[in-house]
Amino acid sequence: MHLPSISRQAAGIGRLFNQQTSFMRGPMKITDLIEDIYDAALEPARWNDVVVGINEFVGGRACGIFSKDSISKSGVTHYYCGADPHYIQLYSDSHSKFDPLDCLPPLGQVVSIPDLVAFDEYRHGRFYQEWLRPQGCVDAANVVLENSNPNCPVLLTVLAGKHMVDDDMRQRIAQIVPHAHRSLTINRMIEYKTSEAASLAHTLDGLGAGIFLVDAQCRIVHANVAGRGMLCAEDFLRVAAGQLVARDGQANQDLRQMIADGGAGATAGSNAFSLIAHDGTRYVAHLLPLTAVIRDGAEASLQEFSLKPPSWKAVAAVFVRKAELDGQSCGKLVARAFGLTPAELRVLLAIVDVGGVPETSKALGVAETTVKTHLSRVFSKTGASRQADLVKLAAGFANPLAGNGPV
């Protein structure tokens, strides 16, 4: 599944064990069993077959992997073989609290029932009389396989049948414990990474800005909902051979040059470029180079979440949003930040919304000279030198949570 570095490690451990041992018992080789255990690390459904193999290898009547809550004493069986489902359900519903595993052994230590309780007294108790004995068993071997959550560890239990757990069974169980421990640890890490990727993708999908993770060839590794909406419109952005492409030739060239440069030494402003839709709506794109931490962490999760080829490693995130001040509050925020007068703010908003000086003059019903005067003051106060810079500035104050993608 995920985490290729871990899967390679797991495979390497399995191969090493295969090379170093030829121990056999009956038809089940320990080498085959170890291989199955590491397969289950990447495909948890394979644990169903693994418990069958463990039971066969150690010579048990039944075998199961389960979790036991040390506080509530409740138990949940995850995988089992050789036991009647009635007794599995009985254990979960009521008899887990009578289980002698109240005081758990250290991680990896194989124990039998006499190691846990006074056996003669135990044989008169409910767990033995109502659960173990009716299954034709007198003893059981138990071992903690994984305890990342100390309050609810994962255990392996092998019911020994009509004989007590002997040294041979303990030894066989001990042989597989370290491998089962590693496998379950990998399962847990994969589950965490999968959950992390889903949470991150959900967060990105909640943003109104289009977000694209792209690799060094500008191929899209992941796009959020807003980004996919922009691509579906096939207007100012589109996909060609898996690559993010801007309709405007200069913008497309700027995007690729920024990615090729890796954003080294670039400021937020120099890593931005403008996009214009067919209807004249203006958008601003910002490119954020991804650090090694992000590439190896969140991006890796999203790469797997998006099922892209492993060679597609995201090197940059491209944020695209409409260049508008969405609402009166944002306009006031810009005016407050740069000390703009009401007239200067109106000119700024019009420049962003309708375009150049002539269009602004017509939209506001004032002379072009008046627009130019106010615009000059806006440039001076904001530090901008071009109208395109004002568009980028406005985009910086837009609410990224608002759904402002193209309709």
Domains of the chain: 4-195 (3.30.450.80), 206-322 (3.30.450), 328-396 (1.10.10)
204 vs 6: which has the higher pLDDT: 204
The per-residue pLDDT for 258 is 86
Q: In degrees, to the nearest 5, what angle opens at C-alpha 387 toward C-alphas 385 and 388?
A: 100
Given a cut of 50, whether residue 49 has pLDDT beyond it is: yes
pLDDT tens digit sequence for 117-173: 998 889 999 999 999 999 999 999 999 999 888 888 999 999 998 899 999 999 999
| Range with the largest mean pLDDT of 27-41, 163-177, 385-399 | 163-177
pLDDT digits (tens, 9 = 90+) for 169-196: 999 999 999 999 999 988 888 777 766 6
pLDDT at 23: 40
Does residue 407 have a pLDDT over 70?
Answer: no
Asked if 347 contacts 386 with a C-beta cutoff of 8 angstroms, the reply is no
236 touches 247 (CB < 8 A)? yes
For the chain, what's the residue count? 407
Q: What is the pLDDT of residues 337-364, one digit of tens each?
A: 788 898 998 888 888 777 788 888 888 8
Whether 186 contacts 6, CB under 8 Å: yes
In the chain, the percentage of residues whose pLDDT exceeds 70 is: 78
Predicted local distance difference test score (pLDDT) of residue 132:
93
Output the average pLDDT for the chain: 79
CA angle, residues 253, 212, 257, in degrees to nearest 5: 20
Asked whether 95 and 135 are in contact (CB, 8 A), the reply is: no
- For residue 67, list its beta bridge partners: 76, 154
Compute the half-sphere exposure of residue 247: CA atoms within 13 Å on the CB side of its CA.
14
Structure confidence by residue, pLDDT tens digits, 54-103: 999 999 999 999 988 877 778 889 999 999 999 999 998 888 888 887 77
A 10 A CB-CB count for 297 gives 15
Mean pLDDT of 270-298: 71
The number of C-alpha atoms within 13 Å of 269 and in the hemisphere containing its C-beta is 12
Q: How confident is the model at residue 11 (pLDDT cuts 50, 70, 90)?
A: very low
Query: Token pair of 306, please?
Result: 């998006």
Higher-confidence position of 201 and 109? 109
| Amino acid in position 400 | P
pLDDT at 312: 59
Considering only 104-118, 127-141, 202-216, 243-257, which range has the smallest mean pLDDT? 202-216
User: Quick one: pLDDT at residue 273?
Assistant: 80
What local confidence, expressed as pLDDT, does residue 282 receive?
78
Interatomic CA distance for residues 272 and 276, integer angstroms: 14
Surface-to-core class of residue 292, CB atoms within 10 Å of its CB (0-12 exposed, 13-18 middle, 19+ buried): exposed
* 137 or 387, which is more confident: 137
More confident call, 328 vs 157:
157
Confidence of residue 110 (pLDDT cuts 50, 70, 90): very high
Confidence of residue 326 (pLDDT cuts 50, 70, 90): low
